[in-house]
Each structure stands twice: as C-alpha cells, then as structure tokens.
C-alpha cells in the first residue's frame, strides 16, 4: 500500500512541476480565454480601458498574457517583442 501512495505522490509532484515549468508561455491560451486573462492583467492599471484594448489585441495575436498585473513579459516573447511605431512596447 505504501508503494502505491509513494508512486501516486511522485506522479502528482511530477505533473505539478511540469505544469509549473511548461505552463503558460506563448500559445498557452485560446482566444476565448484572452478577455479573462487581460481583465486580471489590467486590474490595477490607471488607464484600464486602453490596457484592456491593447492586452486583448496582443493576446489575440500571441495567445499569451504574462502573469501578474505588471512585468513578467519574458514569459511571452511575442507579447514582449511587439512594438509600436515609436519602438515602445505595444502590449501592457
């Protein structure tokens, strides 16, 4: 019985670590999931409507939104590398 429990725990931990390491990133969202992810991403933004517009635009293209409400753009290279005409980041 204890071997079964140990094997189960090992599989559970491996699945958790795999999700932690490989979860997120480009292509991890569907277009339908973008509004919810952007709603959280822009929840603390001063210009919330502009943030939501550009976040959804970027998510539709990249299928990724960085975690948190600020920063972490390295999680989504497409999101991070998309620039406006002035060379500034397009995605919030």
The pLDDT tens digits for 63-73 are 999 999 999 99
User: Alpha helix locations (H) across 1-92?
Assistant: 2-22, 34-41, 48-62, 77-81
What H or E segment, with its residue span, contains residue 69? none
pTM higher than the cut 0.85: no
HSE-CB for 60 with a 13 A CA cutoff: 7
Closest CA to 77 of 87, 89, 69: 89
Q: Provide φ and ψ at 85, rounded to 5°.
A: -65, -30
pLDDT of residue 27: 76
- CA–CA distance, 55 with 10 (Å, rounded to integer): 38
């Amino acid at each position: 019985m204890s071997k079964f429990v140990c094997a189960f725990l090992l599989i559970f931990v491996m699945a958790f670590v795999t999700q932690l390491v490989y979860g997120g990133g480009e292509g991890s969202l569907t277009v339908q999931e973008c509004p919810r992810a952007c709603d959280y991403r822009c929840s603390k933004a001063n210009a919330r409507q502009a943030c939501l517009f550009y976040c959804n635009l970027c998510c539709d293209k990249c299928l990724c939104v960085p975690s948190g409400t600020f920063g972490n753009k390295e999680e989504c290279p497409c999101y991070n590398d998309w620039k406006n005409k002035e060379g500034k980041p397009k995605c919030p």
